[in-house]
Amino acid sequence: MTRSARLLELIQTLRRHRHPVTGDALAAKLGISLRTLYRDIATLQSQGARIDGAPGLGYVLREGFLLPPLMFTVEEIEALVLGSRWVSSRDDTRLAAAARDALAKIGAVLPPHLRHEMDTTTLMAGRSDAPGLDRDLMALLRQAIRSEHKLRLTYRDLKGATTERIVWPFALGFFDHVQVLVAWCELRGTHRHFRADRVTGAQVLDERYPQRRTALIKAWREQEGVPAADGN
């Protein structure tokens, strides 16, 4: 691994973690000595990377340091294209358009050889066979999650019974056959999963829910035994 590639990998490793990572862990990940790691961190800091920490305490990358898209590897380009195609295959035109726009912005600044890889990749995403979605509803659910506001839902269960409830939405799960809203339900007093195709009415309330979204996600993962993604 060249030094430039190693520095990029170091930045990417730090980006995947929101909390301090020890020097030993970073050195082991990169296959280098601690002394080399300290030199690499000093080099990145001199180039503007906001890396906080010290030997024995761990290191964390603060926001504000950007790497140009030309630093993407071929595998990263393939992952971006495949992810974009998967989103575009869902029955959600707003997200599909956003995925295509994001990919176009990345492609516009890629060097020719990587742009060629993006344009010619053969990784495909199959069409979704999920029930037709209410696009306005999905946009409303995403808005409520982003703003951490309560939702008033009208929901039809498996037996066809309809209930109205106040929920604290904090996640959306996209699966091949269904989309699921994950929320704290005030009626049940616990986390609940709501199929989007069974939501017959939804209203974003002015009131914010009393916990942060990240705290709700953490509690839900612990309750459901869902492993956390890297850095979360």
Q: pLDDT by residue for the chain (232 residues), tens digit each?
A: 678 778 888 888 888 887 899 999 999 999 999 999 999 999 988 878 888 987 778 999 887 655 555 567 788 888 888 888 888 777 677 888 888 888 887 887 777 877 888 888 888 776 666 556 677 898 899 999 999 999 999 999 888 899 999 999 999 988 877 889 999 999 999 999 999 999 999 999 999 999 999 999 999 999 888 776 654 4
Q: How many domains does the chain have?
A: 3
Instruction: Evaluate whether residue 127 is within a structural domain.
Output: no
Same domain flag for 147 and 194: yes
Which CATH number goes with the domain that contains 197?
A: 2.30.30
Residues 154 and 184 in one domain: yes
Residues 45 and 74 in one domain: no
Report yes or no on 229 lying in a domain: no
Q: Whole-angstrom Cα distance, residue 7 to residue 78?
A: 22
Same domain, 161 and 102: no
Residue 188 lies in a domain: yes
In this structure, is residue 95 part of a structural domain? yes
Closest CA to 232 of 171, 143, 141, 169: 171
Q: Range of 57's domain?
A: 3-61
Residues 6+ apart with CB under 8 A from 17: 60, 230, 231
Domain boundary residue, one of 15, 42, 61: 61
Q: Which amino acid is at 115?
A: R
Give CA–CA dist 167/63, Å, rounded: 32
DSSP class of 21: B
CATH number, domain of 50, equals 1.10.10.10
Give the Cα separation of 196 and 132 in Å (integer). 10
Cβ–Cβ under 8 Å, residues 26 and 10: yes
In a domain? residue 47: yes
